[in-house]
Copies of this chain bind each other. A is one copy, B any other.
Amino acid sequence: MNSDRIRLPSLLEKVKSADEAAALIKDGMTVGMSGFTRAGEAKAVPLALVERAKKDPLKITLVTGASLGNDIDKKLTEVGALARRLPFQVDNTLRKAINDGQVMFIDQHLSETVEQMRANQIARPDIAVVEAVSITEKGHIVPTTSVGNSANFVQFAKQVIVEINTTLSPELEGLHDIYLPEERPNRTPVNLLKPDDRIGTTAIEVDPSKIVAIVFSDLSDSPSNALPADSETQAIADHLIEFLKQEVDAGRLPNSLRPLQVGIGTIANAVTSGLVKSPFTDLVQYSEVLQDSTFELLDAGKLKFASASSITVSAPCAERVFGNIAKYKDKLVLRPQEISNLPEIVRRLGTISINTALEFDIYGNVNSTHVNGSKMMNGIGGSGDFARNAQLAVFVTKSTAKGGAISSVVPMVSHVDHTGHDTDILVTEIGLADLRGLAPRERARAIIDNCVHPDYRSALNDYFERACAKGGQTPHILREALEWHINLEERGNMLSKG
């Protein structure tokens, strides 16, 4: 068994228990862990670290690809082991600690974390902990269900812990394409011209002497928590697909569209699922994360190829895909997130990028991260990498939240993650606003007329008209611009009067 999974015999002696490996992580270290959208995180070692921290307190800076599964962020937070965390998270307990100022959270564009490490602008990991299906004859590491920042962490760290996940087939080898840009100033173009190009290696190259421990684990990825589409989610998908049909009819897109990037979550999943019944054919994905809907599209013969940095699916879908990986392997590739999200590639390919907004305002500025301007939800993730460079930058959200107490369309967003310069199409279940080539006042008209819930439309019209009377390129009444958010905070409803 061990020699199947560890094909370089000299490494067999590095096999250790999770506790022994976790003991290599010292107080104050920067730790780079695998894991992207709750897929492919190391599991046994961080959980052993949690147990150790209960007896022997420590604090680390934890850097990952994106979010971790298996409640690892929750458990590390509960034992007080996180001093700093970057670049993304989705855990309730950690979120509370972040918002309480107990954990310093650095919310970053997901393509930039390792670029900043490469330039020594943020600390490189002292130690890397990465999940693998196997180690090759050369001692190189074959990742599991995500690549994330693992290859860079392994390159930067002085010590590497490999956690071999025995629940996943070694046949995953060949799925990955590991390519890292050169150091500046001698960097060359990233020679990826279409999503199915392979430009790297199938395993993470490493000097085997850096591998200080190999741990076996039989823990699985946490299943996707995307919910099935409801009527509003479905309406959003329908509006967007109808719009794309019109773009094809107008000759602005081919019937195969452009490479699709679809953010994670329920709405995004519904949009992709909706494509199964669409007239589009020969679709390709160039995305961060593949969800269940990718495999629906592949199975339906609608999708030719999907490139991403991770696969985050439901338990049944995981069984279908990873239990029959040979069937899918030539139609999939997993890349470092630096490449899946690279501005160079996103602009070259001209992706259609579909991401979820928390709220947007009448001028098309989008808040993806902060509830009422202060409280972090998850982080910006890769949405900025894509929206800035996509051919079509789409943001989707339901028009209201909390039973109608919150309008997702507001006079002024309480926090900006994507400026109006980067947003082309906004969609709610009410309808779709096409903002391309419009000045701010025209954008406001398109958004109010098409995207706002009827309960909020007259209040937004009133705000906008009075703001226009005051003047400006992007007319605002600053005294009222954040009033809806203040109402919500103080009285639980955006339209409550004091």
Contact = CB atoms under 8 A, between A and B. Distances in A.
A489 B486 CA distance: 21
Interface stretch (A8-16, A38-46, A289-297, A372-380): A372-380
A248 interface: no
A439 interface: yes
Given A437-B122, A486-B479, A185 B84 contact: no
A73 to B, nearest CB: 15
Interface in A145-182: 181
Contacts of A190: 189
Contact of A184 (B84, B108, B391): B391
A198 interface: no
Interface stretch (A19-27, A211-219, A394-402, A468-476): A468-476
A437 B123 contact: yes
B188 A193 contact: yes
A252 interface: yes
A347 to B, nearest CB: 6
Contact of A370 (B112, B252, B391, B474): B474
Contacts of A388: 109, 343, 384, 388
Contacts of A468: 101
Given A189-B344, A437-B121, A376 B473 contact: yes
A479 B489 CA distance: 10
Contact of A419 (B250, B251, B419): B419
Interface stretch (A235-243, A269-277, A409-417): A409-417
Q: How many copies are assembled?
A: 2
B415 A417 contact: no
Interface string A419-435: 10100100000000000
Interface residues of A, number: 84
Interface in A346-364: 347-350
Contacts of A108: 421
How would you classify the secondary structure of chain A's contact residues: helix, strand, loop or mixed?
loop
Interface in A461-485: 467-468, 470-476, 478-479, 481-482, 485
Nearest to A421: B109
Contacts of A326: none
A359 to B, nearest CB: 13
Given A438-B106, A439-B84, A474 B421 contact: no
A491 interface: no
A211 to B, nearest CB: 27
B380 A473 contact: no
A90 to B, nearest CB: 14
A107 to B, nearest CB: 7
A215 to B, nearest CB: 29
Contacts of A251: 120
A258 interface: yes
A482 B414 CA distance: 11
Contacts of A376: 472-474
Interface string A182-200: 0011011111011000000
A185 B348 CA distance: 8
A478 B467 contact: no
A374 B104 contact: no
A373 B440 CA distance: 12
A388 B384 CA distance: 9
A104 B442 contact: yes
Given A374-B473, A376-B474, A185 B107 contact: no
Closest 7 CB pairs of A and B: A374-B472, A189-B189, A376-B473, A416-B416, A104-B439, A344-B344, A122-B437
Interface of A: 84, 98-101, 104-109, 112, 115-116, 119-123, 181, 184-185, 187-191, 193-194, 250-252, 254, 258, 342-344, 347-350, 365, 370, 372-376, 380, 384, 388-389, 391-392, 412, 414-417, 419, 421, 424, 436-439, 441-442, 467-468, 470-476, 478-479, 481-482, 485-486, 489
25 contacts: A106-B438, A107-B473, A116-B437, A119-B252, A120-B251, A121-B424, A181-B348, A184-B258, A185-B350, A187-B193, A187-B348, A188-B348, A189-B191, A373-B472, A373-B474, A373-B476, A374-B472, A375-B472, A375-B473, A380-B421, A384-B421, A415-B474, A416-B416, A417-B421, A479-B486
Given A107-B421, A189-B193, 12 more contacts: A99-B471, A101-B468, A104-B439, A104-B441, A106-B439, A123-B437, A188-B348, A343-B389, A373-B472, A384-B419, A478-B489, A479-B486
